[in-house]
Amino acid sequence: MQVAIDGPAGAGKSTISRAVAKELGFLYIDTGAVYRAIGYKAGRLGIADEDEIVRMTQKTELTIELQGGDQHILLDGEDVTDRIRTPEVSMAASRVSAIAGVRSALVELQRRIAGKSNVIMDGRDIGTVVLKDAEVKIFLTASCEVRAKRRFDEMLEKGQDADFESVLKDMQERDYNDSHRAASPLKKAEDAILCDTTDKTLEESVKMLKDYIEREFEKYVC
């Protein structure tokens, strides 16, 4: 069984997907981490040329591992799980993810992981490209201001320096980049349902998705 969850940054995809996957006993895969790892490596090596970034991606060894139920990402054998969660890496990930050669190099890896068990996979092109045949497809969204506020609160909670206006500006820029790129832009798959979490708490959103996924699965079990 495959569940594809797509949507813009900050819609709550990873928090909600992780919670629903836990309740249903599914594997949860956050595909943003692979783009973040490539963006991080390009920045660390100071590579800006697109062809060079594609060559670098093809030569990069990326592994997704589960450690105590949490996803860890290994970049050429080095665990970079925490280091890829900075605003700089978010922007770098958005930039490298617009390069078609980078995307094609990473799609196979994502499909291989999804083939291993019942999975909930989140990203931007899961329902439209990576898992086109997923049994359940959800497009999760919320207003840009609410998404920026959630990200801002999250940063404060982690004790990070944060300024709401710049979080909002980054969010708008990423939304624009992710949905206007030529290669697999962020968009709702025709057969996905739209879930708007603007006015919902985390608990309400988790319940809404879990109930929907269970109802959909009943159709396949019969």
Instruction: Give the nearer residue to ligand DC in terms of CB position, either 122 or 206.
Output: 122
Whether 64 and 72 have beta carbons less than 8 Å apart is answered as yes
Binding of ligand DC by 2 (CB under 6 A): no
Q: Which two tokens mark 107?
A: 């799609």
Helix (H) / strand (E) containing 71: strand 70-75
Q: What is the C-alpha separation between 44 and 40, in angstroms, rounded?
A: 6
φ, ψ for residue 63 (rounded to 5)? Answer: -130, 135
Question: Which residue lies nearer to ligand DC by CB, 11 or 206?
Answer: 11
43 counts as binding ligand DC under rule CB under 6 A? no
Q: Pick from 2, 3, 21, 35: which binds ligand DC (CB under 6 A)?
A: 35
Q: Using CB under 6 A, which residues numbered 116 to 155 contact ligand DC?
A: 123-126
CB of 24 to ligand DC, least distance (A): 21
Give the nearer residue to ligand DC in terms of CB position, either 3 or 125.
125
By the rule CB under 6 A, 97 interacts with ligand DC? yes
174 is a site residue for ligand DC (CB under 6 A):
yes
| Residue 31 near ligand DC by CB under 6 A | yes
Q: How far is the CB of 92 from ligand DC (least distance, A)?
A: 9
Supply angle C-alpha 16, 21, 23, rounded to 5. Answer: 100
Please state whether beta strands 70-75 and 78-79 pair in parallel, antiparallel, or not at all (unpaired).
antiparallel
Cα 30 vs. chain centroid, distance in angstroms?
5
Torsion angles phi and psi, residue 48, rounded to 5? -115, -20
- Using rule CB under 6 A, residue 178 touches ligand DC: yes
Nearest-angstrom CA–CA distance, 1 and 169: 37
Nearer to ligand DC, 65 or 211 (CB): 65
Task: Identify which of residues 9 and 64 has a Cβ nearer to ligand DC in the complex.
Answer: 9
Residue identified by tokens 């079990």 is 221
Chain contacts with ligand DC (rule: CB under 6 A):
9, 31-32, 35-36, 90, 93-94, 97, 123-126, 174, 178
